[in-house]
Amino acid sequence: MANMSVLTRDELLKLAELARIRLTNEELDSLPAELSKIIEYVQQLDDVSVKDLEPTYQVTGLKNVTREDKIIDYQADAQQLMKNAPGVKGGQFKVKRVI
């Protein structure tokens, strides 16, 4: 594992800009060393050999369970369904906007 130098203030400002994060002067002073330690710790994963390990995609043993599609005729046409709608516009259900 290569030793990583401490992030510079300019590198931190660039990262903050990319992440759209505003940093105070105090944060700009303390974060480079902290982030450098975190990055150095994560880089230790490069030293771990996973050559003989099988990938683990999920651990519960569950598989996708699906059912066969079936058409159910409820004996209702579009006009009947629209009568029960709280609002209709242009032959479609009118609902409040979801934000």
**Whether the Cβ atoms of residue 12 and residue 28 lie closer than 8 Å to each other:** yes
The answer to whether 12 and 40 have CB atoms below 8 angstroms apart is no
Question: pLDDT above 90 covers what percent of the chain?
Answer: 19
Distances (CA, A) of 48 to 1, 36, 54, 56: 11, 20, 14, 16
Q: What is the pLDDT of residues 34-49, one digit of tens each?
A: 888 888 888 888 888 8
Give the global pTM.
0.42
* Percentage with pLDDT > 70 across the chain: 95
Q: State pLDDT tens for residues 4-24.
A: 667 888 888 999 999 999 999
